[in-house]
Homo-oligomer: A and B are copies of this chain.
Amino acid sequence: MAAHKVVVVGGGFGGIQAVDRLRREEDVEVTLVDRRNFHLFQPLTYQVATGALSPGEIAYPLRAMFNGEANVRVLLGEVTGFDLDRREVRLAAVGEVPAPPTLTYDSLVVAGGSQYAYFGHDEWSDVAREVKSLESALAVRARILTAFEAAENETDPQVRDAELTFVVVGAGPTGVEMAGQIAEMAHDTLPGDFRAIDSRHARILLVEATDRILTTFPPKLSAKAERSLRRLGVTPMLNRTVVGVDPDGVDVQAPDGGGTERVASRTVIWAAGVQASKLGASLAELAGTEVDRAGRVTVERDLSLRGHPEVMVIGDMVRVRDASGEGAELPGVAQVAIQQGRYCARRIVDRLHGGQPEPFHYHDKGNLATIGRGRAVADLPHLRLSGLPAWGIWLGVHLWSLIGFQNRLLVLIRWVFSFATHGRGARLITRDVQEAVSED
């Protein structure tokens, strides 16, 4: 009997779990497709953006992950579309790497993830970088460090103030963590580094459209997190929407027709508004099912695409139909993707052996967000924590979840040193290669 061919699109949390659970199945052949050659531990990318960690410490080569697994193949390619009738995945070239041939599948798992959306203003992305992708995080790191360097050399006090003003848009976990890290950098790492400026005078603004930070947490924990942030030196600007972004600053507006306020800033970091991978909308169209404004396709209770039990879509690019038939949004966190990836693997094997799988059920292990050294909030099933205990849990969970013992050890060392010395070892301004080469 020919092996059952599984194609997994995307090497994020969901994709690698699905592959990992299928690699020991003898009658299954898995092909993992990604346009990057590494798995990225996205929950810590923001720490790369502030020089606390190096890229290589939170990224893991996909090929190394499945090296020597006879029934797993890794392909570098960009998925451009599907033919659900012929059960085909079409692929395009990535940079200098030619397109792999079209893949055929018996089962398909699509885990394409999401990216930040700029409220329809894609041009803002040139200025307001996000910290979800590694390259963008490195660009943010260079910008933040350059801001302090530029302020040190600047003689015009207005420009200097703009260089020392940091605007983070969106007060979800990433925005809060980012604002907290910049504050710690300004107050703990950099004093003593400069002569003309005092890095502690930096203003760090956290702009949020709703009336509190960390809206996925209970209001009491939000309030505690906000107090922690303020003590660190971050100024939350609640009930404010960003209506303009340019290289010299942002325009923020109060919600009910309030006036527009101009904030002069040279560093804007975007952590608001998520847009699902385009593959979501394209699958929704092919299957004639719903897609929401953020591009998330609605999948059935077993994560399959309507009318296509052999196709599953997972992670933060889907809404899952609940018992009432409505598409429900699950939190856009790693745990959801991980559990869905494992469920997919189980379901594929079950179906192969004639079983009838149960609907997917998300087991909520809780919600964590960190604000800074010793400051975090934890909303666990039977327990709400803040401060040092929450931070301890946050550290443990994140260290444990990193792939590879080496990476765990390297990150642990970085954190121990940062904690002990307030230092940030990876504070490098690396320029784009082209720029660097043309100058030398």
Contact = CB atoms under 8 A, between A and B. Distances in A.
A43 interface: no
A37 B436 contact: no
A433 B135 contact: yes
Interface residues of A, number: 74
A428 to B, nearest CB: 5
Contact of A149 (B37, B55, B437): B37
Interface in A38-77: 38, 51, 53-57, 59-61, 63-64, 67-68, 73-77
B95 A431 contact: yes
Q: Is the interface of A mostly helix, strand, loop or mixed?
A: mixed
A437 B136 contact: yes
Given A54-B56, A153-B98, A67 B193 contact: yes
B417 A406 contact: yes
Interface in A371-401: none
Interface string A278-313: 000000000000000000000000000000000000
A308 B139 CA distance: 43
A1 interface: no
A37 B153 contact: no
Nearest to A77: B153
A381 to B, nearest CB: 35
A84 interface: no
A235 interface: no
Interface string A130-161: 00011110110000011001101111000000
A100 interface: yes
B192 A67 contact: yes
Contact of A153 (B68, B75, B138, B153): B75
Given A54-B55, A56-B428, A429-B36, A96 B407 contact: no
Contacts of A136: 433, 436-437
15 contacts: A36-B429, A38-B427, A54-B55, A54-B57, A61-B427, A75-B152, A76-B149, A77-B153, A96-B150, A125-B437, A129-B437, A136-B433, A138-B433, A139-B437, A410-B410
Interface of A: 36-38, 51, 53-57, 59-61, 63-64, 67-68, 73-77, 95-100, 115, 125-126, 129, 133-136, 138-139, 145-146, 149-150, 152-155, 190, 192-195, 266, 404, 406-407, 409-410, 413-414, 417, 423, 425-437, 440
